[in-house]
Amino acid sequence: MIKRNPAFQALKAGYLFPEIASRRKAFEVSHPEAKIISLGIGNTTEPLTPHISSAMADYSRFLSTREGYSGYGDEQGLKALRSKIAETLYAGTADESEIFISDGAKCDIGRIQLLFGADVGVAVQDPAYPVYVDGSVIIGAASSVSAKAEPCAKSCSETSTGAHTGYAGIVYMPCTAENGFFPDLSVVPENSLIYFCSPNNPTGAVATKEQLKKLVDCALQKGCVIIFDAAYSAFIRDDSLPKSIYEVEGARRCAIEINSFSKPAGFTGVRLGWSVVPKTLVYEDGTPVINDWNRIMTTVFNGASNIAQRGGLAALDETGLKEMRSLTDFYLENARLIKACLQGGNFNSMGVRIYGADNAPYVWAQFPGKKSWHVFDEILKQCRTLTTPGSGFGPSGESFIRFSAFGSRSNIQEACTRLSSFAL
The answer to whether 197 contacts ligand PGU (rule: CB under 6 A) is yes
Would you say 141 or 258 has its CB closer to ligand PGU? Answer: 258
DSSP 306: H
* Size of residue set near ligand PGU by CB under 6 A: 15
Upper half-sphere CA count for residue 317 (Cβ side, 13 Å): 10
The answer to whether 229 contacts ligand PGU (rule: CB under 6 A) is yes
Q: How far apart are CA 390 and CA 363, in angstroms?
A: 11
Compose the 40-69 pattern: x for residues touching ligand PGU by CB under 6 A, - for all others: -xx---------------------------
DSSP 101: E
Taking contact as CB under 6 A, which single stretch among the options 99-107, 155-163, 171-179, 292-300 is the one that binds ligand PGU?
Answer: 99-107
- Cβ atoms of residues 36 and 23 within 8 Å: no
- Least distance between ligand PGU and beta carbon 346 (Å): 26
Q: Which of 231, 265, 337, 338 binds ligand PGU (CB under 6 A)?
A: 231
What separation, in Å, do the N-terminal and C-terminal C-alpha atoms of the chain show? Answer: 51
The answer to whether 341 contacts ligand PGU (rule: CB under 6 A) is no
The answer to whether 105 contacts ligand PGU (rule: CB under 6 A) is yes
Taking contact as CB under 6 A, which single stretch among the options 65-73, 91-99, 101-109, 118-126 is the one that binds ligand PGU?
Answer: 101-109
Site for ligand PGU in 110-169 (CB under 6 A): 129
Helix ranges (DSSP H) in 67-192? 79-89, 105-116, 130-139, 145-148, 154-159
Q: How far apart are CA 164 and CA 152, in angstroms?
A: 9
Residue 268, burial from CB neighbour count under 10 angstroms (0-12, 13-18, 19+): middle
Would you say 17 or 330 has its CB closer to ligand PGU? Answer: 17
Of 180, 204, 192, which Cα lies nearest the Cα of 132? Answer: 192
Would you say 59 or 196 has its CB closer to ligand PGU? Answer: 196
- Cβ atoms of residues 296 and 369 within 8 Å: no
Residue 255, burial from CB neighbour count under 10 angstroms (0-12, 13-18, 19+): buried
Q: How far apart are CA 164 and CA 398, in angstroms?
A: 8
- Cβ atoms of residues 225 and 289 within 8 Å: yes
CB atoms within 10 A of CB 194: 27
Taking contact as CB under 6 A, which single stretch among the options 51-59, 104-112, 157-165, 345-353 is the one that binds ligand PGU?
Answer: 104-112
- Least distance between ligand PGU and beta carbon 104 (Å): 3
The answer to whether 36 contacts ligand PGU (rule: CB under 6 A) is no
- Least distance between ligand PGU and beta carbon 139 (Å): 17
Would you say 229 or 398 has its CB closer to ligand PGU? Answer: 229
The answer to whether 21 contacts ligand PGU (rule: CB under 6 A) is no
Q: How far apart are CA 406 and CA 46, in angstroms?
A: 8
Q: Which of 106, 164, 243, 252 binds ligand PGU (CB under 6 A)?
A: 106
Q: How far apart are CA 314 and CA 54, in angstroms?
A: 9
Compose the 244-273 pattern: x for residues touching ligand PGU by CB under 6 A, - for all others: ----------------x-x-----x----x
Which chain residues interact with ligand PGU by CB under 6 A? 17, 41-42, 104-106, 129, 197, 201, 229, 231, 260, 262, 268, 273
